[in-house]
Amino acid sequence: MTKLSVNVNKIAVLRNSRGGDVPNVVRTALDIERFGSEGITVHPRPDARHIRYQDVRDLKAVISTELNIEGNPIPSFIDLVMEVRPAQVTLVPDAVDAITSNAGWDTIRNRQYLKDICSRFNDAGIRTSIFVDPVVEMVEAAKECEAQRVELYTEAFAAGYNADREAAIAPYVEAAEAARRVGLGLNAGHDLSLENLTYFAERIPWCDEVSIGHALIADALYLGLENTVQLYLRCLASTK
């Protein structure tokens, strides 16, 4: 079954908006694990507007599930990953001023750069994943970058889901099949929600992991955090 990794960035946004330590990111992550999540995802950015580097260190010290650190591999990010040694690092090409991730890597143009970074993390025993658009050529080139997985950027699927879900999922199925064909593991994330997650998982049941933050935390405002985590897990369990 596809695993659920919960991105806790929005918990940090709420904390940072007021100062202090409420809500506490580590305590919330531990609760999310207790509610059934199989991983915790964080995406520290250079401006520390949500998750801070110290949050990453604190989380690694206490969580029992997989820690996935996402980010652009600038020198300080690379140093953090090598220090913390998470289960997985996801390389994302987001600009310093990006509100959120908005594109995948060009794994052809950046092949040698990504290969050097993936090799360093692989040698340290950290699973590497590259964030890509649902384009077969980009998936295939990620294999040549020595990544172990790709994460499909699912914003386009979510945006097109209500208008024509079959058309919206088609490039993702093709990209996912390419990943399986070349021997890459498969993750997915961005704008997946209670509305579209079941269909995504039904069409790509070999997806290893989905990373969900914004929609899940927004749903939790109305449904409660424990109930919401369970609802997302139910979306994935229904595809077995």
Q: Give catalytic residue positions.
A: 43, 70, 190
Question: Which letter, b or e, does each residue of 147-186 get, where b requires 16 or more Cβ atoms within 10 Å of its Cβ?
Answer: bbbbbbbbbbbbebbeeeeeebbebbeebbebbeeeebbb
For residue 46, the cross-strand partners are none
Q: Which two tokens stand for residue 9?
A: 């960035």
Contact between 186 and 220 (Cβ < 8 Å) = no
Residue type, 74: I
Write phi, then psi, for 130 (nearest 5 degrees).
Answer: -115, 130
Q: Which two tokens stand for residue 117?
A: 């970074």
d(Cα 193, Cα 215) in Å, to the nearest integer? 6
CB-count burial class (<10 Å; 0-12, 13-18, 19+) for 111: middle
The continuous run of DSSP H or E covering 106 comes out as none
Nearest residue to 139 (alpha-carbon basis) of 169, 95, 91, 176: 176
Give Cβ neighbours of residue 120 (< 8 Å, ≥ 6 apart).
78, 82
